[in-house]
Amino acid sequence: MQDQVDSFKPENASDHLKVALAAADKAADISRRYYAGNFTVTTKADMTPVTQADVECEQAIRDIILSAFPEHGFYGEETGQTQADADYLWLVDPIDGTKGFVRQYPFFSTQIALLHDGEIVLGVSSGTMMDELAWAEKGQGAWLNGKPLKVSDIYDPDRAAVSTGNLKSLADSDGWSALGEIVKCADRIRGYGDFYHYHLLAAGKIDAVIESDVNILDIAALSVIVTEAGGVFTDMNGDKPDLDIRSVLAANPSLHEKYLSRLRGYIT
């Protein structure tokens, strides 16, 4: 992973991005070490699992970021939020996909994003076991393993490849039939899930992602990556990601407009 970080040397790379990449690299070392097993698992109040790897990854990320930027706020999946009124707030999910991680499912990732005055301006998405490291910064484009990313230009829903993720809330609403119309028209339907389908979307390998059950720490970094690759990333009502986001419609611009007209209003 370090070689991938070192290969990216844009002239305008910020100190924020350099630190985020270093933090992701350190977290990858930790999660890779634990991936084969030999870790404890506990259950949080919301009935989701947490492992030693989650805790150690977040602590390492937190130490690296706050050592560089002690005046910044930090919002982590495991340690919560500090300095909520800071101009800069780091959003971190140390292991997004812990349930999969526990079962040695390789599609977990580390997600690191930076919020500035309410806008997500930087994202790093590290799919450790898939050897995928994606990053983006506002106005600087999106990159995967050192190569620039660009969404597809497919505009016809009949030719589109659509990937879905968590859909429980949509399945329990009238929007389920709207999704059915999208599925019926699509050329391919897949469920790549987690970080991976957003990487595919940003690379132009699929054309849309639909999820109804997310939180900001899951998707903050990915939203910048997709947007900087030329895509549109909103919730199912067309609103930009914020701390309260619960659903995602992400696609190239043509398809996003078409799918939003079908899905808008079903998920709050």
DSSP the chain: -HHHHHH---TT--HHHHHHHHHHHHHHHHHHHHHTS---EEE-TTS-EEEHHHHHHHHHHHHHHHHH-TTSEEEETTTEEE-TTSSEEEEEEEEETHHHHHTT-TT-EEEEEEEETTEEEEEEEEEGGGTEEEEEETTS-EEETTEE--------GGG-EEEE---HHHHTSTHHHHHHHHHHH-SEEE---TTHHHHHHHTTSS-EEEESS--HHHHHHHHHHHHHTT-EEE-TTSPPP-TT---EEEE-HHHHHHHHHHHTTS--
pLDDT of residue 36: 77
pLDDT of residue 50: 72
CB 137 within 8 A of CB 115: no
Confidence of residue 45 (pLDDT cuts 50, 70, 90): low
Q: Which of 149, 101, 112, 108 is nearest to 25 (CA)?
A: 112
pLDDT of residue 4: 47
Q: Are residues 127 and 13 in the same domain?
A: yes
**CB-count burial class (<10 Å; 0-12, 13-18, 19+) for 182:** buried
Q: Are residues 131 and 168 in the same domain?
A: no
Per the listing, tokens 């709207």 go with 178
Phi, psi of 209 (to 5 degrees): -130, 135
Total domains, the chain: 2
Domain boundary among 100, 125, 148: 148
Domain boundary among 130, 148, 166: 148
Is residue 8 predicted with pLDDT exceeding 60?
no
Is residue 44 predicted with pLDDT exceeding 80?
no
pLDDT of residue 68: 98
| 268 falls within a domain | no
pLDDT of residue 212: 96
Confidence of residue 100 (pLDDT cuts 50, 70, 90): confident
Confidence of residue 234 (pLDDT cuts 50, 70, 90): very high
Is residue 135 predicted with pLDDT exceeding 90?
yes
Distance between CA atoms of residues 69 and 75, nearest Å:
14
pLDDT of residue 80: 85
| % the chain with pLDDT above 90 | 78
Is residue 147 predicted with pLDDT exceeding 90?
yes
Confidence of residue 255 (pLDDT cuts 50, 70, 90): very high
Pairing of β 49-51 and β 73-76? unpaired
| Other beta carbons within 10 Å of 47 | 6
Confidence of residue 122 (pLDDT cuts 50, 70, 90): very high
Q: Are residues 13 and 56 in the same domain?
A: yes
Q: Are residues 47 and 174 in the same domain?
A: no
pTM for the model stands at: 0.92
| 242 falls within a domain | yes
pLDDT of residue 46: 67
Q: How far apart are the first and last CA of the chain?
A: 38
Q: Which of 6-15, 19-28, 134-143 has the lowest mean pLDDT?
A: 6-15
Is residue 157 predicted with pLDDT exceeding 60?
yes
Domain boundary among 94, 125, 148: 148
Confidence of residue 254 (pLDDT cuts 50, 70, 90): very high
What are 162-200's pLDDT values in tens digits? Answer: 999 999 999 999 999 999 999 999 999 999 989 999 999
The residue range of the domain holding 200 is: 157-263
Beta-bridge mates of residue 119: 116
Mean pLDDT value across the chain: 91
Q: Are residues 171 and 259 in the same domain?
A: yes
Is residue 9 predicted with pLDDT exceeding 60?
no
CATH code, 115: 3.30.540.10
* Better-predicted residue by pLDDT, 144 or 41: 144
Confidence of residue 12 (pLDDT cuts 50, 70, 90): low
